[in-house]
Structure 1
């Protein structure tokens, strides 16, 4: 599986993008790197450029960071002091087949991609990426719990809210460490699967009742579910770890008022295991780019 002849621009990002660069260089893609001025490492086949030096008319793909852009249309990068603009003027110069990849999206990116009519892939919407990412997420959650409690996970009472791709891995991991895990969900098939896994299921409608005896609450649901009335029912020593994307699903203001420790911890893979998280993205990206290349060869 080689990407010879494919020209890809990688714009901004963090340590995870280094794994993407390594992988694509290995597969013989031609890379233009923007926002990597302070990166000491030199990659053969990859050229560091300023954004205005990029030949957009020659690009087959553009890879944005996991977080995409800001709402103002700027790309953040840890390898440069400056944010990088990502605009309609740039994108309209790209060939019709050019695909834009990012981890997640926002209203700016959604509107921009609709306007220019280019294919747009959000990697974190994919089941495979989310499931692979749930592994470093679970490990990072263990790290946070150990740092912020004075009791062992073994024997502690843990409520996991949500039984999606992350919730399932987190619940299984904490159970494997000897915690007494119960999982809140709504769908009947999720409640059945939780039972099958040897964990205790409960319906999220009963959340206020179910939190009355817990030590740790781990939320994966990206809307307000750990409300003031839920927090009011928790023991004072309960630790809340919210893994949902910002702003999370917890009333942090009320938690602070009541003295319940609540931590918002989105994006743990990039924090606790950037190398692994980068390899996950790189592997999926290289498959998608290769499929695009084959499709174009077939249409040529």
Structure 2
């Protein structure tokens, strides 16, 4: 239980609704910012503006998965209010106040460090990333079907990266009958691809492996699909970039060559917001409960 905890939920998309629902079930007191257009009411949750919140009473602040932009602005799809998180706001919170975000950037990390608060990036956790890979894979399949005129079965598919998301994507497209090749840097990832029965290659050889490719799926948040690589691709190829913005693809050059390249970060929140929200809610509440117990609160 989270009885006695006061939590601010700042902006976000439909995933936040599952988080709010779970927090109220566990008896937390919640201040909602950026939700005034939301018709649904949650017992124990109050819609407020940033200027109305007493941040000195906050035990935790929950941000949307993207956190903030580089100006501190927070995404709010249920509001027209401009919500900005600043160092001054964080400095008003109690020392034990913890900030939760999916990911971070230089701005968010900077104001958290300056205010000496703890920041927990949920998407850095293996459990969240692995659970999230399930709706990510389903969304990737959906995009592949929508944007091609051929079946996945029998297609030549190159998947870049064999991390937590890449592994799930590779396994699923292989089971759907795709002829999957995995490009990776780490020798252990190449070994894992071999163990899974997949062909593999070093990323430095990517140009040699895209000439007959029908679908290329990137999971690496670095410039991987460069103009040199794109120049070797067939015109019918579909590129799906799952890496966080700005992705690993030169989209300008792909468009110039007439190649369809789609940036698709955050697929879980698009194709399965309820499930994606439940994943985040379960992990968040467990973390908060553990921290609450750690500071001696009774739950």
**TM-score w.r.t. structure 1 length?**
0.97
Pair 1:94 & 2:89 matched: no
Specify the alignment match of 2:223 in structure 1: 224
How well do the aligned residues superpose, as a CA RMSD in angstroms? Answer: 1.2
Specify the alignment match of 1:282 in structure 2: 281
How far off its partner does 1:194 sit?
A: 0.4
Specify the alignment match of 1:185 in structure 2: 184
How far off its partner does 1:89 sit?
A: 2.0
- When the two structures are aligned, how many residues end up with a matched partner? 298
SS in 2 for 1:160: strand
Q: Deviations over 1:112-143 (max 9, x none)?
A: 00110001111111111111111111111111
Q: 2: distance between equivalents of 1:296 and 1:288?
A: 13
How far off its partner does 1:191 sit?
A: 0.8
Specify the alignment match of 2:42 in structure 1: 43
Which runs of 4 or more aligned residues in structure 1 lie more than 4 Å from their structure 2 counterparts after TM superposition? none
Specify the alignment match of 2:268 in structure 1: 269
Contiguous gaps of at least 5 residues in structure 1: none
Deviates more, 1:21-30 or 1:64-73: 64-73
How far off its partner does 1:297 sit?
A: 0.7
Specify the alignment match of 1:147 in structure 2: 146
Q: 1: distance between equivalents of 2:136 and 2:241?
A: 11
Q: 2: distance between equivalents of 1:87 and 1:227?
A: 36
Q: 2: distance between equivalents of 1:66 and 1:161?
A: 23
Specify the alignment match of 1:245 in structure 2: 244
How far off its partner does 1:8 sit?
A: 0.6
Inter-CA distance 195–103: structure 2 relative to 1 (3 Å threshold):
same
Specify the alignment match of 2:111 in structure 1: 112
Q: 2: distance between equivalents of 1:140 and 1:108?
A: 30
Specify the alignment match of 2:126 in structure 1: 127
Pair 1:234 & 2:233 matched: yes
**TM-score w.r.t. structure 2 length?**
0.97
Q: 2: distance between equivalents of 1:248 and 1:293?
A: 37
How far off its partner does 1:5 sit?
A: 0.8
Q: 2: distance between equivalents of 1:278 and 1:9?
A: 17
How far off its partner does 1:298 sit?
A: 7.1
